Amino acid sequence: MKLVSEAGVGTIAAGVAKAGAQVVLISGYDGGTGAAPRSSIHHAGLPWELGLAETHQTLIQNDLRSRVVIETDGKLMSGRDVAIACMLGAEEFGFATAPLVTMGCVMMRVCNLDTCPVGVATQNPELRKRFRGKPEYVVNFMRFIAQELREYMSKLGVRTVDELVGRTDLLEARRPAVNSRAATVDLSAILDNPYVDAPKHHFDPADVYDFRLEDTVDLKVLEKKLKSSLESGKTAKVSLEVSSTDRTLGTILGSDITRRFGQSLPDDTFTIKCTGGGGQSFGAFIPKGLTLELEGDSNDYFGKGLSGGRLIVYPPKKSTFSAKDNIIIGNVALYGATSGMAFIAGRAGERFCVRNSGAVAVVEGVGDHGCEYMTGGKAVILGPTGKNFAAGMSGGVAYVLDEHRDLYMRLNKALVSMELVTEKHDIEELRKMIEAHVAATGSDWGKEILDHFEDYLPLFKKIMPHDYDRMLRSIGQMEEKGMSREQAEIEAFYINTKGGKR
């Protein structure tokens, strides 16, 4: 769990340690990607020393220190930095800026512009030719870091890094201070650690958090019932009851499928028919070949990181309420999904399809911030949306049924355009997605729309980012000239971002 060095970070670290975090990373303000805004680089966070000391002491105070490894980063540049970090409580150390410099980075801070002059952070093949970095340079740098750390440890009379962890008694403030202002700084909260002699002041593998994975549905039920099919890759189907305590159902099974078959299995090779209430992260990260069908409802983070699998949710078949008017899955569904399909006969909560980059989803209404930061994929919303729809959306397409003709008031118009669905390929695509939704869920509302498709079609709005639309058109034009997809994408990028200049 990465935490920014700030006042109170120790309390947050204690919370995530109780929740099962195995590594707590305290990140200082002084590092950061060159693509970050200058205001963030200079005015966000505190030095890693402050957050690290607070985290180390708070975890000891709450008898949690032995359960987690503390790591720190934020422009560690020397063995001296590592030694100080270790004495303040860190056991692992992150390096980014310095290794990048050894690889040739000249700190131009244009990582997000694709104009890196030394070819480190760019997709431009011409600029990439300038890259002169070698792995040996980083290895050499890290050897120097380790050597300097050994020299400091030798002077302090410490033989191992574990012995150095938390030894603030070996630190003291510089005397005299470098200037009068520095002399006013009170370092007692950092240097006078009251827990320096605590018996559990660094990570102990014997105290590692027990996630009890062997008690999960995936390992107790699914993998046992599917054992022979997992070995052969033959089609299989399993039915089971689930409850909200069955979190991340299908994820471990999905990891085994990926390990054995990659993305080679056809859709619906393994189908898990669930009945009841799905817990948090139902179907998270499931791969191609795995289908989870849920008759009931599901909690937050449904389909998080969906990676090729299929998710189907619909109300109990004996239910008498209108599915399209009721929420059936929680907030932040399909967060960070990269591929796959989801069909949801009912409404979703807030932040539906946030950061979706490739999945296809059909749902019958969403809460606030739908399709936020979406970069790819497709979403069909067969119902109302909440406010701030499509905020930060830079890719992908959303088709929204605007029955009340008020979508324009709920739309975040900064990056996207809204238009009627009039092009033939859009109409066919929309119809096929709704047909697939009805076939998967039996949605009454989907059937109603298909039965009167010509009447509902004028109410659909197509939401697409301006730049994404322009890029797709340019790529199509380049492909018509005989270019490969990769060549067309590169050429379209320069046409649309560099005024046609390479």
Q: For 158-197, what is each residue's pLDDT tens digit?
A: 999 999 999 999 999 888 989 999 999 999 989 888 888 8
Residues of the chain with pLDDT under 70: 32-35, 497-502
In terms of C-beta density within 10 A (0-12 exposed, 13-18 middle, 19 or more buried), how is residue 240 classed? middle
61 Cβ neighbours under 8 A, 6+ residues apart: 195
Q: Is the peptide bond before 465 cis (omega within 30 degrees of 0)?
A: no
Phi and psi at 272, nearest 5°, equal -110, 110
Would you state the pLDDT for residue 125? 87
- β-bridge pairing 460-465 and 395-401: antiparallel
User: What's the CA gap between 340 and 287, in Å, rounded?
Assistant: 8
- E strands, 364-459, are 375-381, 395-401, 416-420
CB of 306 within 8 A of CB of 287? no
Q: For 381-429, what is each residue's pLDDT tens digit?
A: 999 999 999 999 999 999 999 999 999 999 999 999 999 999 999 999 9
CB of 323 within 8 A of CB of 342? no
- Give the max Cα distance, the chain: 84
Would you state the pLDDT for residue 209? 86
CB of 353 within 8 A of CB of 377? yes
User: What's the CA gap between 435 and 446, in Å, rounded?
Assistant: 8
Question: Is the dihedral angle over the CA atoms 215, 217, 219, 220 positive or is it negative?
Answer: positive
CA dihedral of residues 34, 36, 37, 42 (deg, nearest 10): -80
